[in-house]
Structure 1
């Protein structure tokens, strides 16, 4: 257990390890993670009791004390182990740096569920005023991947909780979004969980029993030429939303689907970017 608060060790450049009193440390206000597994925290706490904290946490000093930037699990486990001080590196960071580091650390967790991942992307976009493309570039992801993950946040709260608790996968959630009706989505989500449906079976079930009401007349999907279906799939992947192409009397239309003003603005922005690039 660390007993002194002034012991320091030169680490690199301008980074030094300090032993900071736990009661001076506060959680990161920008931490996107809301839940911590108690059993895993207990395991980590026992390891800390036996071996100490092997990797310092990263802190930012403020007028109200220290805020955690990286290492909140270690901090919480250290409190359970009744440590009075923890090894830490204090960095000078802006609010933006602090937000980004906390979110990126969160995204690197192995046990991150799909909803937490989607919420992390949304928080990056909202707090740092980034586009989906900019988030994708910073995290080395594709823009369609980011868009598809964000769509999970359109699910009913109960279904999102089911994904968070591991009762359904993120792929189940994306498949359920084809239904649009929140009551129908929730009902089918419960059925898929209770009957242990695979994602493929859920897709087939929705395809066979889809009950959407639409304001415009659609061409029967089975009657569409193969190349039209291929274009619909490509556009869906590219823009992260459902796309329908219909043709009649040598005319046609492409319909992009959106379920919120935010989704509408994202589509318009992406279409404008595509136009400028061409």
Structure 2
């Protein structure tokens, strides 16, 4: 019960903590919290759990030039990692650029937090700044789910996003490695990737999109054509009532919309005024999450 209450307070608590990052500590601050300290840059280490992996060299060089001229405007947020050692919570890009600029000291704000909270802050700060590529964002969410037992709804509260946003992000991790690389390198946008994630051959469609410079709308049309190809419907009947018939565009669009909301593959088959809906899940965890979502509306 205490853990459930704690999770409900996460969004507000993290927002307050992040809101304090740029402000000096007051006289009433806890002794474990220190603000606006200058420490030797070699005493700071990166956080191996930081969801951000890619740092564009050109952007780092631009920031380092700014730091040479104006200094580090926003302190790096760290936590203690031993005697005179600190680990970055938020601000690794500033730390890297400061090294490039030749700084021997950097301003830091020290926060006394555990591994879980440090990861939450890193994800929230990067999401708010749009510093994560879509794949890094999804991997960060997956890390919180795997290591700390969060549901998609919990994550939505923590990061200030909808549950469907979290579900759509996590769906990107289902893409083949080749497509995930395109996404991480910016060749594909998240919109492109979401459009093709449930298709029969995402890698082939991704190549067509990149080679042809296609828009997200074009990618959605390709995905729709793929969905309209005759396939095993698992016993479901189509709009005409005969298994194997091509589905109409409205049904395909509705299937995709429901899949995006649930984070699971959804198939519809109309028969007169009624029909069938099939939801595919691949693990008991996905089934539990689906049951929880359906239970919320009882």
TM-score range, shorter chain: 0.7 to 0.9
Cα–Cα, structure 1 residues 228 and 169, in superposed 2: closer, same or farther, change >3 Å?
Answer: closer
1:78–1:86 Cα contact (<8 Å) kept: yes
TM-score (norm 1): 0.82
SS of structure 2 residue aligned to 1:167: coil
- 1:255 aligned to 2:273? no
Q: For residues 137-161 of structure 1, give each alpha carbon's deviation from its aligned partner in whole angstroms, at most 9, with x where no partner exists.
A: 2222221221111101100011011
SS of structure 2 residue aligned to 1:67: strand
Cα–Cα, structure 1 residues 222 and 233, in superposed 2: closer, same or farther, change >3 Å?
Answer: farther
Distance 2:64 2:289 in 1: 47
The residue number in structure 2 matching 1:204 is 221
Q: For residues 171-208 of structure 1, give each alpha carbon's deviation from its aligned partner in whole angstroms, at most 9, with x where no partner exists.
A: 1111112324xxx2211210111011222222223333
The residue number in structure 2 matching 1:60 is 79
The residue number in structure 2 matching 1:94 is 114
SS of structure 1 residue aligned to 2:234: coil
Taking only aligned residues, the RMSD between alpha carbons, in angstroms, comes to 3.0
Q: How far apart are 1:111 and its partner, in Å? A: 4.5
SS of structure 2 residue aligned to 1:197: coil
- 1:34 aligned to 2:53? yes
Distance 2:249 2:56 in 1: 48
- Between 218-227 and 235-244, the greater mean CA deviation after superposition: 218-227
Gaps of 5+ in 2: 1-22, 242-246
Distance 1:275 1:98 in 2: 32
Distance 2:248 2:231 in 1: 23
Distance 2:220 2:198 in 1: 9
- 1:23 aligned to 2:17? no
TM-score (norm 2): 0.77
Structure 1 segment 229-244 matched on structure 2, within 5 A: 232=255, 235-244=258-267
Cα–Cα, structure 1 residues 233 and 62, in superposed 2: closer, same or farther, change >3 Å?
Answer: closer
